[in-house]
Amino acid sequence: MTQTAAAGAATEAPGASGAGGRVGLALASRGLTKRFRGGQLAVADLDLAVPSGSVYGFLGPNGSGKTTTIRMLLGLIVPTRGSWEVLGAPMPAGASRVLRRVGALIEGPAFHPYLGGWANLARLDAADSLADPRTSRARIGQALERVGLGAAAGKRYRNYSMGMRQRLGLAAALLQPRELLVLDEPTNGLDPQGTREVRALIRELAGEGATVFLSSHLLSEVEQVCTHAGIMSAGRMVAHGSLAELGAGAEPRLRVDTTEPDLAVRVLAELGCRDAERRDEGAEAVLDGVAPERACAALVRAGVPVRGLVVQRPSLEDTYVSLTGEGFDVNE
């Protein structure tokens, strides 16, 4: 599996002009490419389609271009090529209008160390020329409460723990009602309770109608909260679509543990299973529509001593690893 279709109308008319703004997409890009001055290709020909209302998991190993993509989408980095839209508005022209409706946590929290949590949020609120100063106090208080930092509002940021810093970053994204939240590794540095709270918060935000674009390398996190996902590897999107599509893309395999693997391979191949082959102490094949119980009966009838029989349905993790490689090395 290489390219899974994204949800419905999302990928229609790939050749359409960049100016229009595709309906139903909170984030969209065509051919988005970033080559850094050193010549390093960070992101290559990225076609992103994040449906409105989805919780989109943006997956990929470290160094695969996730953060560079997020920075380009939000106008912090100028792409070398390509066009993109945020909430239907062509960028970067629409930035000053549309970014107000976007809450962002980019590459971890960043605040003034000698200011308190409250003062840091007040500064960001003051920077928003359209924010109503009369509701500033209420909104800051509410954002801090929402991430559980109400009690630490006056404490200096430099004295915050890693988890508190991450929470303050989330609070900054929640200063205004948002239509889109771009969260880069939001559970980094959080303890298990904090991780659960953030997951609940993401579900809550999605329940209120916001689109959440969640960059992560934690597959379980993505599987638990996301409706859609895209997988990056070495600057390229290697798979994207709804979570069901991504799972379905890799077909279920049958694994037979036996002392007669060659016989098992022959039986499976005759049944119509694809790619039947010997592997370790047994045989494996793609079921390809063959019912597992039929395969089991046929194997036994043919005299294959079956010690174990497993249907392996690939998880997101298998998809991920098959696409991004097992290696531990950072991709250049």
Partner 1 sequence: MSTSSPPLDAVPAQGRAPAPGSLTRPTAGRLLRSELALVFRRRRNLVLLAVLALIPVLIGTAVRLSSSPSAGEGPQFIDRITGNGLFLSLTALVAVLPLFLPLGVSVVSGDAVAGEANLGTLRSLLVVPVRRGRLLAVKYTAVLAFCLAAVLVVALAGAITGFALFPVGRVTLLSGTTIPLAEALVRTLLIALYVGVSMAGLAAVGLFASTLTEVPVGAMAATLTLSIVSQVLDAIPQVSAIHPYLFSHHWMAFGDLLRQPVPTHDLLLGVATQVIYVVVFLTLAWARFDTKDVSS
- The Cα–Cα gap between 242 and 154 comes to 42
Q: Does 124 bind partner 1 (CB under 8 A)?
A: yes
Q: In the complex, what is the shortest distance from the CB of residue 168 to partner 1, in angstroms, rounded to a whole number?
A: 11
Residue 73, φ and ψ in degrees, nearest 5: -60, -35
- The Cα–Cα gap between 3 and 1 comes to 6
Instruction: Name the segment binding partner 1 (CB under 8 A); options: 8-16, 57-65, 99-107, 216-224.
Output: 99-107
Q: Does 189 bind partner 1 (CB under 8 A)?
A: no
Q: Does 204 bind partner 1 (CB under 8 A)?
A: yes
Map the footprint of partner 1 across residues 261-290, applying CB under 8 A. Answer: none
Q: In the complex, what is the shortest distance from the CB of residue 196 to partner 1, in angstroms, rounded to a whole number?
A: 12
Q: Which among 129, 72, 138, 136 is positioned nearest to 104, based on CA atoms?
A: 72
Residue of 210, 225, 229, 309 interacting with partner 1 (CB under 8 A): 210
Residue of 1, 41, 77, 321 interacting with partner 1 (CB under 8 A): 77
- The Cα–Cα gap between 171 and 176 comes to 10
Map the footprint of partner 1 across residues 161-180, applying CB under 8 A. Answer: 172, 174-179
Report CA 276 to chain centroid distance, whole Å: 33
Q: Which among 58, 74, 50 is positioned nearest to 214, based on CA atoms?
A: 58
- With tokens 């909170």, the residue in question is 26
- The Cα–Cα gap between 123 and 259 comes to 70
Residue 63, φ and ψ in degrees, nearest 5: 80, 10
Residue 293, φ and ψ in degrees, nearest 5: -65, -30
Residue of 30, 66, 71, 167 interacting with partner 1 (CB under 8 A): 71
Q: In the complex, what is the shortest distance from the CB of residue 239 to partner 1, in angstroms, rounded to a whole number?
A: 26
Residue of 11, 142, 224, 227 interacting with partner 1 (CB under 8 A): 142
Q: Does 135 bind partner 1 (CB under 8 A)?
A: yes
Q: Which is nearer to partner 1, 79 or 241 (CB)?
A: 79
Instruction: Name the segment binding partner 1 (CB under 8 A); options: 15-23, 72-80, 236-244, 278-286.
Output: 72-80
Question: How many other β-carbons are positioned within 10 Å of the β-carbon of residue 252?
Answer: 13
Q: Which is nearer to partner 1, 145 or 270 (CB)?
A: 145
Q: Does 89 bind partner 1 (CB under 8 A)?
A: no
Q: In the complex, what is the shortest distance from the CB of residue 38 to partner 1, in angstroms, rounded to a whole number?
A: 12
Q: In the complex, what is the shortest distance from the CB of residue 254 to partner 1, in angstroms, rounded to a whole number?
A: 45
Q: Which residues contact 182 (CB under 8 A, 6 or more apart)?
A: 70, 73, 74, 102, 103, 104, 105, 106, 213, 215
- Answer whether 25's CB lies under 8 Å from 52's CB: yes
The torsion of the CA quartet 155, 157, 161, 162, rounded to 10 degrees, works out to 150
Q: Does 126 bind partner 1 (CB under 8 A)?
A: yes
Q: Does 130 bind partner 1 (CB under 8 A)?
A: yes
Q: Two tokens at 4? A: 């899974």
Residue numbers at the binding site for partner 1 (CB under 8 A): 68, 71, 74-78, 95-96, 99-102, 104, 106-108, 110-115, 122-133, 135, 138-139, 142, 145-146, 172, 174-179, 197, 200-201, 204-205, 208-210
